[in-house]
Amino acid sequence: MNQNITFSGGTLDRAAHLRSDPEALGALQTKPNSRFMVLWRGKLLIDFGDAAKIVWMQPTAEILNEAKADPIFLGLQDGAARFALDISGWTPTEATVDADSAIMDESKQHFPGLPDQFCFADLRAIMGEISSADAGDAATAKGIFEWHQSHRFCANCGTKSHVINAGWQRQCPDCNRQHFPRTDPVVIMLVTRGNNVLLGRSPNWPEGMYSLLAGFMEPGETIFEAVRREVFEESGIRIGEVEYLTDQPWPFPSSLMIGCRAEALTQKITLDPIELESAIWLSREDALASVNGSNSAVQPARKGSIARFLLDHWLDDTLD
């Protein structure tokens, strides 16, 4: 099926062979054609001019001086180096949103001296606006910085670890254990029965929003086993045939969403209130009205998410 899905369109050559060459990377950081993606507390510097896009700063840009750590090497674009730099120590004048209390932060922050249309923005809030290539590059940078933030100490002995390999590894100075970025597999299911699709909602979602059921895979589990288990645990629905469709990197913070289509064998919903606030069967007609904005009772998943991607393709009969 069509693979034009948000966060899967990165075009950089990751050039992993350069990660272990600090001398070469040091030289690349000062080359005039090298560029830097800038992040602040998980947000990206975005140009909100004619179309939203990542701002790639030149090596001499003043904003880069705010960084307290070395940049992460993302790769090469047409032979020119691309890096990501974090300036979370900078304090803006604009208000911010507590990331722990909101599913999405729609506030924007402006760095002094930059054009007015350059602002830091939450990737989740703009994922439906930026290009596929930008989204893929942003997912890489956001994912790797999130991993560093949450894995600063050695899981083996508890000692604070050091960043090595151009940002793609951490090493413990005491036990010498090396740690690598993690990706958590999540199954997300388009569950159908005849003309109906199964949707659920979590209590912290925006009012009226429903999406496809999803859940983390467990050790020793296949993708299809995880689909059947998660659907039954959350809704009490028994699943028959399962088919893999597509997948999506999801940097919130570091998941791989594995999209599947599943055929329901039963219809009665027995809700797990710990997992879901509500679950419903929605007819194709009502789902289409939801997507078109004429069904105010049910709001679909946001554009850019794999849930919306799968639902849209089901409605268009283009899943195969």
CATH among 3.40.1350, 3.90.79, 3.30.70, 1.10.3470 for 16-150? 3.90.79
> Please, what is the average pLDDT of the chain?
94
**34/96: higher pLDDT:** 34
Shared fold status for 16-150 and 184-315: yes
Q: How far is CA 24 from CA 14, 21, 130, 220, 289, in A?
A: 15, 6, 31, 41, 55
User: What span, in angstroms and rounded, lies between the C-alpha atoms of 295 and 281?
Assistant: 14
Is the predicted pLDDT of residue 35 greater than 60, yes or no? Answer: yes
CATH architecture of 184-315: Alpha-Beta Complex (3.90)
Residue 41 banded pLDDT, cuts 50, 70, 90:
very high
Whole-Å CA distances, 184 to 31, 255, 317? 36, 5, 30
Residue 57 contacts residue 44 (beta carbons within 8 Å): no
What is the average pLDDT across 86-108?
79
pLDDT tens-digit readout, 215-227: 999 999 999 999 9
**Residue entry with tokens 């054609």:** 33
Residues sharing a CB contact under 8 Å with residue 197, sequence separation 6 or more, in sequence order: 190, 191, 281, 282, 284, 287, 311, 314
Q: What is the pLDDT of residue 240?
A: 97
For the whole model, what pTM was predicted?
0.92
- The full set of domain ranges for the chain reads 16-150, 151-182, 184-315
Among candidate residues 72, 187, 88, 182, the one with its CA nearest the CA of residue 137: 72
* pLDDT interval class at 1 (50, 70, 90): low
Q: Do the Cβ atoms of 262 and 242 come closer than 8 Å? A: yes
Q: Are 147 and 254 in contact (CB under 8 A)?
A: yes
CB-based contact 64:57 (threshold 8 Å)? yes
Confidence at residue 21, expressed as pLDDT on a 0 to 100 scale: 97
**Pair type for strands 178-179 and 184-193:** unpaired
Q: What is the DSSP letter of 277?
A: S
Q: Look at residue 94 and tell me whether its pLDDT is greater than 80.
A: no
Query: In this structure, what token pair is assigned to residue 246?
Result: 């597509």
